[in-house]
Amino acid sequence: MPLRLIFMGTPDFAVPTLLELVAQGHEIAAVYTRAAKPAGRGMKLQQSPVEQEAHRLGIPVLTPSTLKTLDALDEFRTHDADAAVVVAYGMILPQAILDAPKLGCFNLHASLLPRWRGAAPINRAIMADDAESGVMVMKMDVGLDTGDVAMAERLAVTDMMTASDLHDALAPLGGDLMARAMGALERGTLQLTPQASEGVTYAAKIDKAEAHIDWNKPARAVLRHIHGLSPFPGAWCEMPLEGANQRVKILRCEVASGSGQPGAVLDDRLTVACAQGALRIVELQRAGKQPMKTEEFLRGTQLKPPAWLT
């Protein structure tokens, strides 16, 4: 029989998993998500992507501010769930919640555990020059992404992938993986394997202080830094524009030929020298403006040698 599930998730990344579980015929007793937050120019309350999708599907939605109270536990138990599925929920589950579903709580994590446990695995994989990433289903325990692993899917990471690109590739892959895992759980065939004790790394939350581009690094290292932070928070440098240095986010770039002092603009196509090699900026964003291709940016801006980026 299909499982009776509680789904716990918040951002866009979690939506494909919710849709796959529904498509496979599982009963979603309730959706837990983070409460609506003010967003946009009018600062109107904006429901999470998961909440919006749950309402469309007619699934009850709960947005508790904590799961650590007895009332929250009692409410969680009333759903009489076989299991809970957790995808980027954004709230820690205490042991009592983890123990409440009959078959446990299962998390979809966007890395190849035990590498990149923690908050920002997609960004960190790109920034660290990893050759591959992936998604894993694990049975949750009270540790930080330390639970036993059930299933995994791998994906090659190329130099042209931004964090947004990798996110968009892993989200549907994860939805399919979790649906297969819940199918195996339903049949009683889901196998769990403890994570390796070697190769543990932690994907710390991205700090905006990390976003300043350091041209005094090799071109590929700068590229991976830029792509790992694109589009948010966005790696930035200062450009001499309209008589003053202005902060500009670099969203996409590519390795190019050329050399020079780090930060020097080498041509009229916005090729920039690094400590070793050079990068050509492909897409960028000025403060308060929409992202734009370099060709469009240069139509209204003279930026060529001997300009300098800092």
Domain ranges of the chain: 4-202, 208-299
Beta-ladder partners of 108: 137
Q: Domain 208-299, what fold?
A: Methionyl-tRNA Fmet Formyltransferase; Chain A, domain 2 (3.10.25)
2 preceded by a cis bond (ω within 30 of 0): no
Hey, is 264 helix, strand or coil?
A: strand
Report pLDDT digits (tens) over 224-234: 999 999 999 99
pLDDT at position 300 is: 81
Q: Which helix (H) or strand (E) holds 121?
A: helix 121-127
The 10 Å Cβ neighbour count of residue 197 is 7
For range 143-148, the mean pLDDT: 96
Q: List, as residue ranges, the binding site.
A: 111-114
- d(C-alpha 281, C-alpha 271), whole Å: 6
Percentage of the residues of the chain whose pLDDT score is greater than 70: 100
**Residue 136: CB partners within 8 Å, gap ≥ 6?**
108, 109, 111, 112, 113, 149, 150, 151, 152, 177
Q: Is the pLDDT of residue 114 over 80?
A: yes
Q: Is the pLDDT of residue 37 over 90?
A: no
Q: Is the pLDDT of residue 45 over 90?
A: no
pLDDT at position 242 is: 85
pLDDT at position 42 is: 74
- d(C-alpha 247, C-alpha 286), whole Å: 7
The DSSP letter of residue 96 is H
Q: List, as residue ranges, the binding site for (6S)-5,6,7,8-tetrahydrofolate.
A: 111-114
Q: Which helix (H) or strand (E) holds 5?
A: strand 4-9
| Fold match, 4-202 / 208-299 | no
Chain-wide mean pLDDT for the chain? 96
pLDDT at position 243 is: 83
String of DSSP letters for 137-183? EEE--SSSS-SPEEEEEEEE--TT--HHHHHHHHHHHHHHHHHHHHH
For range 136-158, the mean pLDDT: 97
Report pLDDT digits (tens) over 166-176: 999 999 999 99
pTM, two decimal places: 0.95
What does CATH list as the number for 4-202? Answer: 3.40.50.170
For range 33-48, the mean pLDDT: 86
Report pLDDT digits (tens) over 247-286: 999 999 999 999 999 999 999 999 999 999 999 999 999 9
pLDDT at position 1 is: 80
Handedness of CA 251, 255, 256, 262 (dihedral sign): positive
Q: Is the pLDDT of residue 87 over 90?
A: yes
